[in-house]
Amino acid sequence: MHGHSSELIASPLSQAPDSAPFRPGEDCLCVAQAHRAALIVDADDYFTHARAAMLRAKRRIVLIGWDFDARIRLGRAEGDNAPEKVGDFIYWLVDQNPALEVYLLRWDLGALKTLVRGSTIFTVMKWMSHRRIHTKLDSTHPPGASHHQKIVVIDESLAFCGGIDMTEERWDTREHIHHDPRRRLVSGKPHKPWHDASTAVDGPMALALAQVSRDRWHDAGGRPMEPLDRTYDAWPEKLKPHFENVRMAVSRSSPPSHTHGPIREIETLYLEQIASARRTIYAESQYFASRRIAEAIAKRLEEENGPEIVLINPLSAQGWLEPLAMDTARARLHEALRLHDPHRRFRIYHPFTEGGDPIYVHAKILIVDDRVLRVGSSNLNNRSMRLDTECDVTIDTSLPGNFDKGPTITMLRDDLLAEHLGVGRDVVTAQIETSGSLIGAIEALRGHGKTLRPYERPELSGIEEWLADNEVLDPEGPEEMFEPFEKRGLFRRLRRHRRGKDRK
């Protein structure tokens, strides 16, 4: 690890006690306190608050992302005369402040696509000519892997961490208005409704995410980025925190690199959180294709008094290749879980606009009971567990000082459901209390128009089933990229378990 990694983990402020639900080095990098923390839902609010924070930057802005498009507009508040387009905005910031430096890291293969977009290549060349704008394409991954973290750090005093990239097709409001004329690509063409989420944190937790960003920058071959000697208050004035003085964990995924071995904190924490659920698991994810996650869910569904599990997914994955990989894997896992769900406690739902268009779910959120709120870049697919670089943050009420955070976590879950169901949050809360069931409340409230619709398993062709079963397009880790097909697959452990029984 680079910088002061070991000091951060070992400091009294960030070290989790023996009784805490986190084990630094296994399911998280560290535990640290945030003076303020907020969940930011959908990119309209995220772009607004990120822009406001960058306007407050004094010394350093670090942008870590899977994609970045210099042509998008972040929006402007009243009295904000800076350029709207993010590329011009970044250049304007360093031009206005001689002490400010900007570091931008993004995935290299994704960059090849965006560099040919309109004026992007000229903006990047302009940045590269500026001695205080440092750009780097992250290529330090095994074949087939990607850099997928989405982190913005301002002066090491404020950090955003979640699932939203500063690129096109992400903007939308929480209303997800049907055919909203503002929801357009840079070309002017309309794009699909989009649901996403991020977080804002400050204090020592922002320092922890600054460390993650520096480590990733160095691993990608960036020149040394030393910790700042002081921090500033960059919290956006209009962003109301949901939590104050809250302890949080930061967890990562990464394949082995020249500086470290494999990091599987994200997968370990998912399995622990699923196993710890008492009543409900609510998740939002772009995909549902991880065999290990499905196996953990299956164990809970078989229990007599296990938790209800609700997953919010897009109707279909985006693009032409991903639906073949992710949608077929989801269909196979859903069918397998149905056989392990005698009490009917598992549901997948898709959100739709008032006019019936599917809303693309890109958010990565996990809420367990009234105890755990987790937000980040990791999806419930194999790549996010072991192949791609990911970063999540978690609030857990079991941590010292967090005992009173439960009602806020419940409120945020109900607020997300209210957004999807097109009703008020108080209606969702009352219905859950009345029915005593998360699934029961959703079934009672969903209807026509803006609502949630249940997943319907598609008919799969033979080739689709083979691709899903052998995880050809969603490998579990770099070591599996070239593994023989007979050793791979969604149900490999189940097959091995049966073979072991046959030998007895």
pLDDT per residue as tens digits for the range 276-306 = 999 999 999 999 988 899 999 999 999 999 9
Q: Which residue has the tokens 């500026």?
A: 130
Torsional sign, CA 86, 88, 90, 93:
negative
pLDDT tens string 409-443: 999 999 999 999 999 999 999 999 999 999 999 99
Structure tokens at 146: 């990607």
Q: How confident is the model at residue 76, as a pLDDT?
A: 82
CB 453 within 8 A of CB 357: no
Q: Which of 325, 309, 363, 262 is nearest to 463 (CA)?
A: 325
Strand partners, 369: none
CB 447 within 8 A of CB 454: no
User: Residue range 303-321: average pLDDT?
Assistant: 88
CA 377/CA 151 separation, integer angstroms: 9
- Distance between first and last Cα of the chain: 47
Model confidence at 355, pLDDT cuts 50, 70, 90, reads very high
Structure tokens at 402: 């967090």
Q: How confident is the model at residue 405, as a pLDDT?
A: 98
CB 361 within 8 A of CB 195: yes
In degrees, rounded to 5, the angle at the alpha carbon of residue 477 between the alpha carbons of residues 490 and 280 is 60
Residue 1 Cα distances to 9, 11, 211, 355, angstroms = 11, 16, 9, 50
DSSP-based three-state secondary structure for 480 = helix
pLDDT tens string 76-89: 888 899 999 998 99
Q: How confident is the model at residue 107, as a pLDDT?
A: 72
Q: How confident is the model at residue 29, as a pLDDT?
A: 97
Helix residue ranges, H only, 156-243: 204-219
Model confidence at 103, pLDDT cuts 50, 70, 90, reads very high
pLDDT tens string 38-81: 999 999 999 999 999 999 999 999 999 888 888 889 988 888 99
Q: Which residue has the tokens 């508040």?
A: 77
Q: How confident is the model at residue 199, as a pLDDT?
A: 98
Q: How many residues appear in the chain?
A: 504
Structure tokens at 303: 């229990």
Query: Is the confidence at residue 456, as pLDDT, over 70?
Result: yes
Query: Is the confidence at residue 9, as pLDDT, over 50?
Result: no
Strands (DSSP E) contained in 139-184 are 151-154, 158-162
Domains and CATH numbers, the chain: 34-245 (3.30.870.10), 263-454 (3.30.870.10)
Q: How confident is the model at residue 496, as a pLDDT?
A: 45
Query: Is the confidence at residue 231, as pLDDT, over 60?
Result: yes
pLDDT tens string 170-193: 999 999 999 999 999 988 999 999
Among 103-117, 177-191, 211-225, name the one with the lowest average pLDDT: 103-117
DSSP-based three-state secondary structure for 218 = helix
Structure tokens at 191: 């794009």
In degrees, rounded to 5, the angle at the alpha carbon of residue 207 between the alpha carbons of residues 204 and 212 is 135
Contacts (Cβ under 8 Å, ≥6 apart) of 84: 73, 74, 75, 76
Query: Is the confidence at residue 140, as pLDDT, over 60?
Result: yes
Q: How confident is the model at residue 75, as a pLDDT?
A: 82
Q: Which of 300, 293, 274, 246 is nearest to 409 (CA)?
A: 246
DSSP-assigned states of every residue in 86-136: HHHHHHHHHHH-TT-EEEEEEEHHHHHHHTTSTTHHHHHHHHHTSTTEEEE
pLDDT higher at 467 or 281 = 281
CB 308 within 8 A of CB 438: yes
CB 79 within 8 A of CB 247: no
Contacts (Cβ under 8 Å, ≥6 apart) of 188: none
Model confidence at 458, pLDDT cuts 50, 70, 90, reads confident
Torsional sign, CA 381, 386, 387, 390:
positive
CB 393 within 8 A of CB 199: yes
Q: How confident is the model at residue 154, as a pLDDT?
A: 98
**Reduced 3-state DSSP string for 419-461:** HHHCCCHHHHHHHHHHHCCHHHHHHHHCCCCCEEEECCCCCCC
Among 98-107, 410-419, 444-453, name the one with the lowest average pLDDT: 98-107
User: Residue range 1-17: average pLDDT?
Assistant: 36
Please tell me which of 8-22, 88-102, 327-341, 467-481 the model is most confident about, judged by mean pLDDT. 88-102
Mean of the per-residue pLDDT values of the chain: 85
Buried b (16+ CB within 10 A) or exposed e, 157-188: bbbbbbbbbbbbbbbbbeebbbebeebeebee
Strands (DSSP E) contained in 259-298 are 263-264, 280-284
Query: Is the confidence at residue 258, as pLDDT, over 90?
Result: no
Torsional sign, CA 68, 71, 76, 82:
positive
Q: How confident is the model at residue 221, as a pLDDT?
A: 86
User: Residue 288: enclosing H or E segment and its boundaries?
Assistant: none
Strand partners, 312: 284, 349
Query: Is the confidence at residue 484, as pLDDT, over 50?
Result: no
